[in-house]
Amino acid sequence: MTTILAAQAEQARAKGEALIKQADRLLCESWNERMWADGEPIDPSPTVDQAINGGYRKITTPQCSKTTLHWPRGKARAAGIEPVRRVG
């Protein structure tokens, strides 16, 4: 009985992680669409962790005097992600 419950717990966790990943990806896509439509920053924006979890492997940010994006270098290297570059 305990192995059945453990297997069910593992399946539930995998489904939950997949749903969170999908939610993060959709949040980033929605934010990107709003940015392109409005042409200015939209708050709140997704976090870097949400972008990484959502499958984004490269993040760019327009040059802005109001905001500075600090890349979590350890996470970037661990995930095999390119560093942030400024555009604009």
Q: Is 80 helix (H, G, I), strand (E, B) or coil?
A: coil
Q: Which domain holds residue 39?
A: 2-87
| Residue partners of 20: CB distance under 8 A and separation at least 6 | 53
Nearest-angstrom CA–CA distance, 22 and 61: 22
Continuous H helices in 1-88: 2-38, 48-53, 73-79
- Number of structural domains (the chain) is 1
Query: What does 41-61 look like in DSSP terms, one character per residue?
Result: --SSPPPHHHHHHTT----EE
Q: The whole model's pTM is what?
A: 0.63
Instruction: For residue 45, count other CB atoms closer than 10 A to its CB.
Output: 18
What are the pLDDT digits (tens) for 16-43? 999 999 999 999 888 888 888 877 777 7
**Predicted pLDDT of residue 33:** 86
